[in-house]
Each structure stands twice: as structure tokens, then as C-alpha cells.
Amino acid sequence: MSRIDIETKRKLREMGVTTLLDAFDAQDDTLTLGLAFEEKIKLAVDDAHSVFTQTKVEGLIRRANLRYPNADLRRLDLVEERGLDRSMIAGLGTCSFIDRQQNVVFQGFTGSGKSYLGCALAKAACLHRVRAHYIRMPELEEAWQLARDKPAGTTKFLNKYAAFTLLVIDE
């Protein structure tokens, strides 16, 4: 338990750094007894940053509206049987194609896993703290039709979907 007084805790909460305060409180005095003050601060900041990053990633994944939110490029089944190259999948997982502003198109028969692969790619982007979104083409078309009927609707529509760094459009 940390030795931070009540007033300091109140100020930290007021400043919105409750994760840092929680990290200080979580420090065990017996484990950190021999550590210097700077090391204790570093541990607390590392803990708080880890929680902050995890919260951001979870929010990105939730807002990406993924059809398969548990999709993961590392857990693809039957990679070779589907004609997928493991090194290419690993390369896509780095999301370097986003920095190069390249498109990725998945082609295959119905049920071959294109939607799952798209969701897994979007989730990988979220893990890299990239803003992604998944939408099916019929829903996108319907949203476009609704936007055309409103004043300045097309501009809002285009701005909304242009704001995503990665947009997964599924058939």
C-alpha cells in the first residue's frame, strides 16, 4: 500500500490520473522496499501506461464494429489449405500496408473466411492503435442512400468514413 496522503489522492483523482493512483496503491511495500523513489515512480507509470494503452485498444476494437471481435491473425485455421501464405499473413499483421497507403483485397468462395480475415486484420490494426471500422457493403450502400436524402449528408458521410485509417468493406 502506498503512503500517499488523502489530499494528494484527491488531487490526483481531480486531475484524471486515477490509473496512476491505482498503480501506486497496488505497489506492495515489501516488494518495493529496496527500490529508489525513481524506480517506484517508473513502475507506477509503466503500470498506468499499460492500463491506459489496453483501455484505448479495447475502445478501438469495440468502436470498429467487428463482425468477429475475437478474430485473430495468429489463430487462423487451415492456412495452407486455403491457399494463404503464412509470411504474407504475418506481414499484414504488422499493418505496414497502412503506412504505405496500400489496399488489401481478399478473394475467395463463400465461407472461405474472408470476413473473418478482414476482422482479424482490423483487430490487428486496433492493436497498433489504428482507427479501423468494419461494415458490410449493403449497409454502406444503405447509409449512402440515407445520406443523399439529407442536406450536407453526403459530405458528412464521406467525412465519417474518411476518418477511419482502415476501412474493411465486406460483401
Radius of gyration of the CA atoms of the chain, in A: 22
pLDDT at 106 over 50: yes
The rounded Cα 25 to chain-centroid distance in angstroms is 28
Cell of 63: 468502436
pTM of the model: 0.78
- The answer to whether the CB of 98 falls within 8 A of the CB of 165 is yes
pLDDT at 170 over 70: yes
In angstroms, the CA 104 to CA 63 distance is: 21
pLDDT in tens, 17-67: 888 888 877 776 667 777 777 887 888 888 888 888 999 999 999 999 999
In angstroms, the CA 12 to CA 28 distance is: 20
Q: Which residue has the cell 464521406?
A: 158
Run of H or E including 61: helix 37-63
Question: Residue 128's pLDDT band (boundaries 50, 70, 90)?
Answer: very high
pLDDT at 127 over 80: yes
Interhelix angle 6-14/18-26, rounded to 10 degrees, is 140
- The answer to whether the CB of 68 falls within 8 A of the CB of 126 is no
pLDDT in tens, 111-122: 888 899 999 999
Interhelix angle 137-148/153-162, rounded to 10 degrees, is 150
pLDDT of residue 46: 86
- Cα dihedral sign for 53, 56, 62, 65? negative
pLDDT at 142 over 90: yes
- The answer to whether the CB of 130 falls within 8 A of the CB of 95 is yes
